[in-house]
Structures are given as structure tokens and as C-alpha cells.
A and B are shown apart, each in its own frame.
Chain A
Amino acid sequence: MSEPAQPPAPTAPATATDPAQTHVVTQWEHSSPLVSCRFDPQGRFVFAGAEDMTVQRWNLGTGAKTALAGHESWVRSLAFLPDGETLLTGGYDGRLVWWPAAAETPTPIRTVPTAHAGWIRALAVSPDGKLIASCGNDNLVRIWNAADGQLVRELAGHASHVYSVLFHPSGEFVVSGDLLGQIHHWDLATGALVRKLDAGPLHTYEGGQAVHFGGVRTMAVSHDSKWLACGGLHKATNPLGAVHEPLVLSFDWSAGSLFKSQVTPEYAGVLWRVLYHPEGYLLGIAGGSGGGVLLFWKPEEEQTFVKFGLPNLARDGDLHPDGRQVATAHSDRHLRISRLEKKAGA
């Protein structure tokens, strides 16, 4: 396999987006509820995991749908090598699978049958495309060689399920977050734990129901590497009944201190994904009893400056490489594309 290409540097759209003008432009329906979605780095496709255990690929130009079948459970984790030609999927069956992203009929290139004991919760690819990080319900983070699927390193130390993982843009560190709201900052070269950050407000233990709930559901590093945003939920007064609100905790990466909490009062749901838009604002994708929403925060502000209501509860989302389109995976079996700008012709 040739060396993966370097990831495209994030660039702001030539014309600024306008989140206040966000609107849905495309709805594609599948036969099963969707649980995850990602654009490929070249912006040709959007892939979505479904409750029928398949991954569905839609061609953004034609809307053609292709199924990728290689898991025995739901696929919540999707990632790409930087050139966009290789898709990685991590399933609740513990499998890690490599796919030819653009093949007419994709079949697995490589499968690690038990990458984790239990669910794979998240995947990330190193900036140089050489390494893959996975995390899951075995409380572990594992680092894999992207070229041959060999296990490179195992990072043990979380006390609960690991919900999210990312590579720091420097390529030197891996960051992982767990159910208990603990964030571990690992040195990639040695596997040593550098430090822990406390995102405890993202975890709730509800004694009456005897359940742990919440966790670091999503993380993102700002494009200038100054901030680490960790998302999930708080105010979980009734975890079993879906009563909670989204929360983002933004940390100063250098200091390791909490910089700002981004909240969404009067909306009930969980933040499934947080992203830094190239224009600098924070984009959140949330779903819950308050429906599905796209949330927009300025990094220095606590309250959203735009909250866009989606037609149905969202379970995951992604930002297109063009910075103007957002894909969302929905419980009503639809994959939706929204544009962060004024409607054409309006």
C-alpha cells in the first residue's frame, strides 16, 4: 500500500457561511434507522452506519446508495485515511475493518476480528495517516498500523468504557475520554499517560436509578490547537427517561484548564458530535427529546448564537470538507444534508 497522502489543511470557505441561514437541502432514506455518518475527505460520499448492521454509502453527486456489509453489529465509528480512499469502520461487534471507500462494490480489505472486547466506540486517524486509534468498552485505547493492521500499542488506564478518541494535530499525542468524564492525554511515542483532564460534569451517577450516564461522547481540537472541546450531556435528572441537556466543555490545551462551558438551556438532548468549523465557531450535532438540532457557539461564549432545528432527532453528524454542508444521521432512517448558508435564489 502506498503512503497515505497528508490530510488537507482546514481552510475556511471562500465565502463565509451563515449558520443563521442553515437549511436542509437533501434527504436520503434508508430502510433502517441510522446511527452514524461521515463525509469522506475528498467530499465525494457520505457514509452512514445503520441499525441493520450495514454501512450505507451515498454518492453526493448522484444520490446512488451502496451497502457495505462486514459487521455483525451496529457501526458507530467511521474514519478515513487522509487521501479518502480507505474507509475504516469500527463496530459494536469489536471488529475493525478497512474498506476501499470508492469501490463500486466495496468488500473488506482487512478485518481485525476482535480489535476490542466489546464495542468499538470511536476511531481516529493520525495526521500523517500512518496510525489508527480505536477505543471501546474494554476500557482500552489501541493504536494500529494503518498499513498492515498490526497492533502498535495499547493504552490502558481508563476506569470505564472509553467513548471517544482523537489524535492531537501535532501527531505526538492521543486523547481519549470515558464514561466517567475522565480525559487521558497519552504520549504516542511511549504510551505514557501525560496528564488527565477532568470533564466530570459530563458524567452523572443517578443514585435512584443506580446508573452511570453521560460520558465524553465527542471531542475536537481547534484548528490552532489551542482548545480541546469535549461534548456530551449534563443535567441528567432522569437518565432512563432522556431528561438531560447538551454540554460542551472547552479546555485550554496548554494549561489543561477549563476555559468555557457551552450550554443549550431549554433544549433536551445529548451532543453526539462537536466540531470546530474552519471559520472558528463550534458546531454541535444533538438529538434528544427536544428533537434534532445543529448548535452553533462562538468559542468565547457560553450560549449558542444559532440553534437550527432538524426535521428529526439526530444521532451523529459531520462537516463536509467544503465547510458548507453538514450531514446528519437520523432515527427516522434519513440521512440529511444541510447547508450553512442562504438558500439558493433566496
Chain B
Amino acid sequence: MEVTIFPAMNTLAKLQILSGAARYDASCASSGSRREGAPPGGTGNTSQSGICHSWSDDGRCISLLKLLLSNDCRYDCAYCVNRSSNQVPRASFTAREVVDLTLEFYRRNYIEGLFLSSAVMQSPDQTMERMVRVVETLRVEERFGGYIHLKIIPGSSSELVRKAGFYADRISVNMELPSQASLQRLAPQKEKAAILEPMALIGREIQESLVERKKIRSAPRFAPSGQSTQMIIGASPETDFQILRLSQGLYKKMNLKRVYYSAYVPVSDDNRLPVIASPPLLREHRLYQADWLLRFYGFTAEEILSDDAPHLDESFDPKTAWALRHPEFFPVEINRADYGTLLRVPGIGVTSAKRIVAARRFSLITPEGMKKIGVVVKRAKYFITCSGRPFEQSLHQPAQIRQQLLLGEGSGEVKLPRQLVLPGLYA
């Protein structure tokens, strides 16, 4: 008779509480790290492009077993479902429980690895230490080679941060809110310095490890998949411009791989929080679009927004909004424009721009050819020419194009965004 792995119903109940409490963390990427094969005698490797294993009922990808080690929090952050004043059932896993769940799920190919975060139990250091012990057990005792994303608890010692980066593929410190003022108001027990310091430390360690590994291939890796962070959108009064400039700074100065935006889901009737009927999903979607422009399209935050127009347009994606403000940039000639210029055309993304550049080597591209190479011109047609000939005869004025685009999309009625985030595809 085989022994059951999970002793009581207990683990199942804990799993429900502690995955439910972790679901508001948007990060799910499993990419950017590459371990060819499982460690000797062990299980698990990672894939450069990341792998999604399932999609939950909200349509988000599941790639990691996303858990809190505990939701028993001594902090009382207004926006958080786990705040100490909230009446919710509390639970904490033992290290063994998390290790066994990870391994049993991984062996059945349910997951790509583990995402472990936690509420602050007795202290940041005590919590971080327990989290590090989980991944240490996985890596050392169980020889687990799958993906691990570990949250850093703000305020934990640099020694623990270093240890975390040594075992995990990705580590992240959540910004939580886009400004010091909001942090002070909504999360008085968290300090900006306690968030930014470990971020800077992680950035330096990643850089150093990369340099070391160029010299000695066997030098230890530090968070090979980099660091990310998350901000809650719509719980505090910052403008999109402030948020984007913050992200831009994080990408440039701190070398972050990803900034996640999480639409505030009303989980509290605290009077410091705005009263909203539903999470601001469209705003979140537009921020992700703008974030993509920063990372892959060569835009700066100042090109996308300004102090005079600090919010992203609801009716148009940020690239189209930019194009409508810059008629002098258009039309773009498909057969001559360089890659960077093609990327600025609304409706032409990274894939399309690359296909255009590749196909041009063989012959001039005709409007018919655009279809053949799989470039959708529904939106782009107002902004391009093909060998000098326009796609749309009569439209030149931004006002006309604006009108046409709105008509083409069901008279300005904004469709609920389909999620743009493809966590598996890009870091």
C-alpha cells in the first residue's frame, strides 16, 4: 500500500487559500533562462522562449505554480486582499509541502516551475529566509532544474537577496504603487528605499555575474532570467505619463526585464481607495501597449505622452494616437523605409516589419504582396504607400483617418481588450 503524499486534506485547503491569495500577481513568464538538460539524477530544465502550460478561466496563461508561502500578513496595505485587518482565512505552507507540490506537478507536466511569494510573517528577514529555504531544498536536495521565480520581501537583508538570486531564475521586488506619496498613504509599512535598494542590488549582481561568466563559464549564475516588478494601476492618482516614465527609468537604469501592470481589483472598502465598479482593464491594456512601445519599438515615454496630455487614449492604441498627432511622419514607403520607421506604422508590429524587410530583398512589395507575406493592412493602409502609390485614395487628414478608424471598429465603441500580454513570448 502506497503512502499518500499529502497527509491530510490540509494541503488542499492551504493550496486553495494560498493560490487564491497569489493570483493578483500578474507575472507568469517562464522565459529568458536556458538550462539544456535536467541536473544529474534530478528533474527539470528551462526553455529560452518559456512554455505556457494552461490558461485559466480569466484567459491568463498558467506557466508557474503561483503560491504564497503564507498569507498571514502583519502589514496592512489598503489595496491588498491579505492586509492584516481583512477577515480572510489564513494559512502557511511548510517548506516540504511547497517542494512536494512543485515536484508532483512538474512530473506531470502541469507547470514550468514555481513562483513563490509571501505575506510578511514575523519580519521581512524571517519570511525571506523561509522562502529561500524552500528553493534551496528544491535545488540542492531534490536537484530540481525547472524554473523558479522568487519574490523579494522589501526590507530583507542583502545576504538573503543574494542567496535568492543564486537559486532562482528570476527575482522580483514589487513597486506596488507608482509613487512614494501613494506608498505612504496606502502601504505605510513599506518604504520606497526598501523597494529600490534590493532592486539596485539585484541589478548590480546580475551585471557582475554576466561579466564573470564571460571570463569563466562555470561562474555561478545570478537570476539568469533577470528581474521584474509590478505596479497596481488605478488604486492611486498617478497619471499614465508618470507611470510610463517610471517604467522607462526602471528599464534603462535598473535593467529590468519586465514591468507588470495590474488593474486594481476592488478587494477593500477602505476609504483611502477609489470606489470602482470593475478593475480598469482597458487602462491596464493600454499601459501594456505603451510598455511594448518602450521595449520593442524604440519609443520614449515623452513621445507617447506629455504633461499636457498625461493619459493614454481610450479609443486608440498608443501607436495610432502618436501617428495621428504626427501626420508629417507619414506616409511611410513600404519598399524603402528602414526597420525602425516601419515599426512606427500603426498596425505593423515586429513580425510584420521583419517580414517586409525580408521580402524586399527578393522583389518590390506590391499591395497584393503585403497580403501574401501575411501583413494585415486594415489599420496600416492609411499610413503607407507601396512604390509611391497610396493604399487609400482620399484620406490624408488625421481627422478623416481618425473617423475612418473609429468607424472601422464599430463606431468608437471600445471593445474589451483581448489580453495583449503574451508572457511566454517575450521575457
* Co-assembled chains A and B: no
